[in-house]
Amino acid sequence: MCANTSAFGRLAVFAFLIGGWIMRLRVLLQLLLLAGMFLCETACLSSSYLFQSEPRGKDLTLETLVDAKSPWTRDKVLLLPLEGALDSGPRTSGFFAHSSVLVRTKEVLDRAAKDPSIKVVLLRINSPGGTVTASDLLHEELIKFKKKTGKKIVVITMDMAASGGYYAAMAADVIYAHPTSVVGSIGVIAFFPNIHKLGEKIGVDLRVVKTGAHKDIGSFWRDFTPEDQQILQGIIDSMQQRFLSVVHEGRPNMTTETLQAVSDGRVFTAAQAKQLGLVDEVGYLDDAFEACKGIAFLKDASLVSYRGPAQYKGNYYATAPDVLSDDKQPQGAASTEINLFRLDGSAVFGAQNPAMAPFFYLWTP
């Protein structure tokens, strides 16, 4: 009997010790999670210390993708890829920062404006959107290019032209959608992670000294107040109205009722998009190329694209990421792409990263 009692006592002590270690391990894991979030935020905040990759527009060469029927033809259609997340800041890779979509597009448009043989731009869009400002700037650069040069823009959407991608397409004179494209996602989204409950659970808090009640609005260390929610919703609504006005200008034949019906954030198939007036035609890249020649009254033309050194030179389906970046730069794994959207912590931490506001014209399924 005494032996059994002694064994039971040892077992109870052992169980108590195991329980204590499990509790300590749980707290340790929570602390590691919090530390990881801090490190991610620090990486975002310190992005300004990365080595910048300067644009190398002088190294761009004009490559022929489709020859003109006649060797004497000098007229050209420029294929301009607009792919991935639309951003205005540099993309990081290891300790290097690569040119943004906005920088690359601006550089190519400037080159095309100076080339009288380029008559039309064929904008190939494959993007879920991006930041509100980058989307708006891209649209503005395309509009300015048209006004400055008098050259037309034809859009062909590939996998998707969603949200900011569709916003940029509003600068086009004609929009083609690939038969399997998804188009639309007219709307605004903002990300405000909240970890204050985790902090309370493990006894970690952030003490803030501020000049006004809303100075830290959107902070992931506290929840929204009703007034915070109202303020942020007002910003979202204002950005949505701008989106709608851009669509109204780009698709003047679309009725107000139809525009309101398609602006709830959803995406549409190519056939649905044509029926609703979001695009003009459903077709392939060849069809869009022919439309470029037709809109500029060209009997014949070659299809060309700007390429950087050492880039893959295949055909008009080849992607051209970072046409202005240094191809000799080391590649790292500082970020991850999900649905073509690059997550380097800036989208996750939103307002905590001063380099990027948390508001997006972005489709995030």
Sign (positive or negative) of CA dihedral 155, 339, 254, 251: negative
Comparison of pLDDT for 271 and 346, the residue scoring more: 271
Q: How confident is the model at residue 30 (pLDDT cuts 50, 70, 90)?
A: low
Whole-number pLDDT of residue 48:
39
pLDDT at 169: 98
Which residue do the tokens 């020859």 mark?
Answer: 67
For the chain, helix, strand, coil in percent to 5 are 40, 20, 40
Residue located via tokens 């600068």: 171
The pLDDT of residue 18 is above 90: no
Mean pLDDT score, 113-138: 96
d(CA 206, CA 221): 7
Please state, for a pLDDT cut of 90, what percent of the chain lies above it: 52
CATH number at residue 181: 3.90.226.10
Regarding whether 313 and 177 lie in a shared domain, the answer is yes
Instruction: Count how many domains the chain has.
Output: 2
Q: Are residues 93 and 235 in the same domain?
A: yes
pLDDT, tens only, 74-114: 999 999 999 998 987 665 544 444 568 898 899 999 999 99
For the segment 210-245, what is each residue's pLDDT rounded down to a tens digit? 788 878 777 777 788 889 889 999 999 999 999 999
- Considering the domain architecture, whether residues 66 and 18 belong to the same structural domain is answered as no
DSSP string, 116-142: TTEEEEEEEEEE-EEEHHHHHHHHHHH
The confidence score (pLDDT) of residue 76 equals 97
149 and 221 fall within a common domain: yes
Computed over every residue of the chain, the mean pLDDT equals 79
Q: Is 5 exposed, middle or buried (0-12, 13-18, 19+ CB in 10 A)?
A: exposed
Statement to judge: residues 44 and 56 lie in one domain:
no
Task: Identify the pLDDT of residue 138.
Answer: 97
Least confident of 48-62, 91-105, 210-224, 290-304: 48-62
Identify whether the C-beta of residue 359 lies closer than 8 Å to the C-beta of residue 190.
yes
Q: Which of 15-24, 153-162, 211-220 has the weakest average pLDDT?
A: 15-24
pLDDT at 191 over 90: no
Separation CA 31–CA 12 (nearest Å):
29
Q: What is the spatial distance between Cα 231 and Cα 212, in angstroms, rounded to a whole number?
A: 14
State whether the Cα torsion 143-144-148-151 is positive or negative.
Answer: negative
In this structure, are 72 and 43 located in the same domain?
no
Confidence tier at 317 by pLDDT (50, 70, 90): low
Range of the domain at 11: 1-49
Tell me the backbone φ, ψ of residue 230, rounded to 5 degrees: -65, -40
User: 19 vs 174, which has greater pLDDT?
Assistant: 174
Cα separation of 277 and 256, whole Å? 12
Q: Read off the pLDDT of each residue in 350-357 and give the average, rounded to a whole number.
A: 48
Kindly state the average pLDDT of the residues 191-217: 77
Judgement on whether residues 59 and 23 belong to the same structural domain of the protein:
no
Per-position DSSP letters for 239-307, written without gaps between them: HHHHHHHHHHHH-TTS-HHHHHHT-SS-EEEHHHHHHHTS-SEE--HHHHHHHHHHHTT-S--EEEEEE
* Known catalytic membership, residue 185: no
pLDDT at 356: 57
Tell me, yes or no, whether 143 and 283 share the same domain: yes
Does 14 share its domain with 118? no
Q: Are residues 67 and 100 in the same domain?
A: yes
Q: Which of 201, 210, 215, 299 is catalytic?
A: 215
Q: What does the pLDDT average to over 108-129?
A: 96
Does residue 55 sit in the same domain as residue 45?
no
Active-site annotation holder among 163, 302, 305, 325:
163
Q: Could you confirm whether 215 is annotated as catalytic?
A: yes
More confident residue, 39 or 185: 185
pLDDT at 46: 41
Please say which residue of 49, 70, 86 terminates a domain: 49
Rounded to the nearest 5°, which phi and psi values hold at 246?
-65, -40
Greater confidence (209 vs 149) lies with 149
Question: Are 86 and 17 found together in one domain?
Answer: no
